[in-house]
Amino acid sequence: MDILSGIFRWIDRGYDDGVSRSNYVLGLILALLGLLASNVESGSVQTFLMVVAAAVAAVFIWRLIAWTRRLAKKADSKTIRHR
């Protein structure tokens, strides 16, 4: 589990850079899962890979929403200061 938390710390370091870094990582994982699923003939393995891909996509969407909310809060705080 320490490895996983280390990966998330690496992704989140400097959050703005971390978001773009995590987008690349998640996109790469999704592409690799797609390649694996297209080259496997077992239906159960394909289903498993689709479930994993759906989980990765859910993490990507969650991070995108969190990043958008963070940008909105940052813009709000700048607007309030300028008034």
Interval 15-55: pLDDT, tens: 555 566 677 777 788 888 888 888 888 889 888 888 888 88
Q: Helices in the chain by DSSP H: which ranges? A: 2-12, 15-39, 43-82
Residue with tokens 């592409």: 31
Domain regions of the chain by residue span = 2-82
Cβ neighbourhood burial of 58 (10 Å; 0-12, 13-18, 19+): exposed
Q: Check residue 10 and give its pLDDT.
A: 65
What is the residue type of 37? A
Q: Check residue 12 and give its pLDDT.
A: 62
Cβ neighbourhood burial of 48 (10 Å; 0-12, 13-18, 19+): middle
Best CA proximity match to 54, nearest among 79, 69, 33 = 33
**Average pLDDT of the segment spanning 55-60:** 84
pLDDT digits (tens, 9 = 90+) for 63-81: 778 778 877 877 777 776 6
